[in-house]
Amino acid sequence: MKPGWSAASIRVRLTTWYTVVLFLMMVLYAAATFVAVRHEFFEQFDDQVHDDFESAEAQLERTPSGQVAWIGEPHHDSEEEGDRAADVWSTSGRQIYRSRPSVTLPPIAQRTSPAPPRYETVEAGGQRWRTLTGASAVAGDPIILRVGRSEERLRTQLWEVLVVLVLGLPLVVALAGVGGYALARQALAPIGHLALEARRITADRLHQRVSVPNQHDEIGRLAAVINDTLARLESSFDQLRRFTADASHELRTPLAVIRGIGEVGLGETRTAAEYQEAIGSMLEEVDRLTTLVDTLLRLSHGDAGTVRLSREPVDLGQLVREAASSLTILAEERQQSIQIDAAEGTMATVDRLVLREAITNLLHNAIKYSPSESAIEIRIRADRYQAIVEIRDHGPGIAAADRARIFDRFFRLDEARSRDKGGTGLGLAIVKWAVETHGGQIAVDEHPAGGSVFRITLPLGSKIHATGGLT
């Protein structure tokens, strides 16, 4: 495509394509019309020649001298008299009669037997003649009769038709092009208005939307798509702003603690044990910072799609048992138990390490927020084409208004309590990313008997049969 053509407006391109296509269609239509008209004209012309043949048969007679002559006037139309001719030949090929001495048609060959009538186009007197030759009889004697009509008048009429078609075609196409441009301009005017409205929307005005004049046509659907895109951008910008503010707050807190400990330590001379305690507190905050930064980096890599997953068929029951075993000591410290009810052979094709971390985070939260001497219940089952992992705790539960935000980054139900327990507010965000990157979903509901139920749904993978094989 030429640069100039690609830079042309849609109106110009639509009008050009419309005009070119219309011109080609009109050329085909004009050609088909001319061919049809020409065919019809020549059929009618042949019918007129045939009528002349029958009229000539009726008007021929034998004179007393043995010659052939016409009865009465041979032609009644004086305007067409110069366009007609007739001659009579014997079966031996001798010309007996000729109505137009000035027009000499080609001779007829000798015929030994009757032949069916035959149409021909011949040259005579500088003109083209359409002739009909057939056997007849005068006073019982066999003859060969030929009548003809000049095609000049017919060809003149056809030429006039062709001139009208050729001269009228560009005019029609030009008028159609002008009309097409006007229609294209009117049809695309809403797009210009849409572009003007969209141009006014900036990063600080993402709450604005473009108008949708008609939701059922293409422009209305385009405006709806733009509004949906703006809504997603607004949501992403809001999340980015909240994330930036939360990340700054999370990073500022341990830095402030480290600075405070350092300033207190430098304020006056202290014992070695007190310096050692201060350094230990600072290292704890550094560990917290390191964990926070590492988690943020993992989430950023996940958002960018640069994390490579090593997928393999995994028995979810076995994977949950591995995650639970790593938290057994923490549960025992709180006198809690972890109960696992796993359907045999519930498989999913996942990255073992990524999904195990997600389940570990959920179990860690369940242990942390459940009371002492309670049970953490885990159920793994298959439902048609899905594998489901449910983790129930006996904690205070999550309000319905907070369930939609529980997986947002840095969101905490209890800010002070969560920070005191060492949480960064990113654990459930990691869980959501890990589940969704495997094509699954995660949700949280309230259990009727109290506590929360976190439900992970994954595409069901291969199942283990009794023989131990994989399908």
Q: What percent of the chain has pLDDT over 70?
A: 84
> What whole-number distance in Å separates Cα of residue 278 and Cα of residue 265?
7
pLDDT at res. 4: 52
467 confidence band (pLDDT: 50, 70, 90)? very low
Residue 247, both tokens: 């990340």
pLDDT at res. 469: 32
Residue with tokens 């994390």: 307
369 confidence band (pLDDT: 50, 70, 90)? confident
Residue with tokens 């990073």: 251
Mean pLDDT for the stretch of residues 359-385: 90
Distances in Å between the Cα of 271 and the Cα atoms of 134, 153, 261 are 142, 130, 15
465 confidence band (pLDDT: 50, 70, 90)? very low
pLDDT at 36 over 60: yes
Q: Which CATH number fits domain 1-71+80-100+108-196: 3.40.190, 3.30.450, 3.40.50, 3.30.70?
A: 3.30.450
pLDDT at 76 over 60: no
> What whole-number distance in Å separates Cα of residue 422 and Cα of residue 364?
12
Q: Which of 119-123, 157-161, 196-200, 412-416 has the lowest mean pLDDT?
A: 412-416
pLDDT digits 0-9 by tens, 86-99: 888 888 788 888 88
pLDDT at 265 over 80: no
| Cβ 250 vs Cβ 425: under 8 Å | yes
If phi over 0 gives left and psi between -120 and 50 gives alpha, with beta otherwise, what is residue 335? left
pLDDT digits 0-9 by tens, 301-324: 666 666 777 889 999 999 999 999
pLDDT at res. 71: 72
| Cβ 122 vs Cβ 106: under 8 Å | yes
471 confidence band (pLDDT: 50, 70, 90)? very low
pLDDT at res. 102: 72
226 confidence band (pLDDT: 50, 70, 90)? confident
128 — phi, psi (to 5°)? Answer: -100, 130
423 confidence band (pLDDT: 50, 70, 90)? low
In words, the CATH class of domain 311-459 is alpha beta
180 confidence band (pLDDT: 50, 70, 90)? confident
If one compares 220 and 313, the residue with the highest pLDDT of the two is 313
pLDDT digits 0-9 by tens, 270-311: 788 878 888 888 887 787 778 777 767 766 766 666 677 788
pLDDT at 261 over 70: yes
If one compares 99 and 468, the residue with the highest pLDDT of the two is 99
Mean pLDDT, all residues of the chain = 81
pLDDT at res. 417: 45
- Tell me, yes or no, if the pTM score tops 0.95: no
pLDDT at 386 over 60: yes
Q: Which helix (H) or strand (E) holds 47?
A: helix 10-59
pLDDT digits 0-9 by tens, 85-133: 888 888 878 888 888 777 778 887 666 556 688 898 888 878 899 999 9
Hey, do 1-71+80-100+108-196 and 311-459 end up sharing a CATH topology, with the first three levels equal? Answer: no
pLDDT at 70 over 80: no
In words, the CATH class of domain 218-304 is mainly alpha
If one compares 443 and 264, the residue with the highest pLDDT of the two is 443
Domain residue spans of the chain:
1-71+80-100+108-196, 218-304, 311-459
DSSP of 113-181, one letter per residue? S----EEEEEEETTEEEEEEEEEEEETTEEEEEEEEEESHHHHHHHHHHHHHHHHHHHHHHHHHHHHHH
